[in-house]
Amino acid sequence: MEEKKITSTIRLRMSAKDAHYGGNLVDGAHMVHLFGDVATELLIKADGDEGLFVAYDSVELLAPVYAGDFIEAYGEITKFGNSSRKMKFEARKVVTTRPDISESAADFLEEPVIVAKATGTCVMPKASKRI
């Protein structure tokens, strides 16, 4: 049986409350939080339930993210086990702030910047699976 490709993408703006360090820098853990939200949507699409995230196999923080940046978090299920779901994630900066121009200046990036990548495993308890 051929498995269909299941993906999810969310896009949101990092706010001043997301900034954790000086210079309005957003901590990398926030990208991991976004990956968790993407994983939840993937499980709902695949199985009709939120399931459980059990482990990250790898997390790479590749570029800085600042308050005001727009981040697109993408994920896909790469392998279906009996109850496990292997996933991969990528966070991309699609809009970047331009404080060098003014406090409200920003650029839409023609080529998004990959700011984080991860892989992980979720499980779908058989009793919770609806699809």
Residue 88 belongs to a domain with what CATH number?
3.10.129.10
Q: Looking at the domain assignment, is residue 131 inside a domain?
A: no
Q: Looking at the domain assignment, is residue 116 inside a domain?
A: yes
pLDDT at 71: 98
pLDDT single digits (tens) 17-69: 999 898 899 999 999 999 999 999 999 999 999 999 999 999 999 999 999 99
Q: How many CB atoms lie within 10 A of CB 57?
A: 11
Q: What is the pTM of this model?
A: 0.91
**Which domain covers residue 43, as residue numbers?**
7-123
Q: Looking at the domain assignment, is residue 130 inside a domain?
A: no
Domain count of the chain?
Answer: 1
Residues 26 and 130: their CA atoms lie apart, in Å, by 37
Residues 131 and 87: their CA atoms lie apart, in Å, by 18
Q: Looking at the domain assignment, is residue 65 inside a domain?
A: yes
Q: By the 8 A CB rule, do 34 and 71 touch?
A: yes
Q: Looking at the domain assignment, is residue 2 inside a domain?
A: no
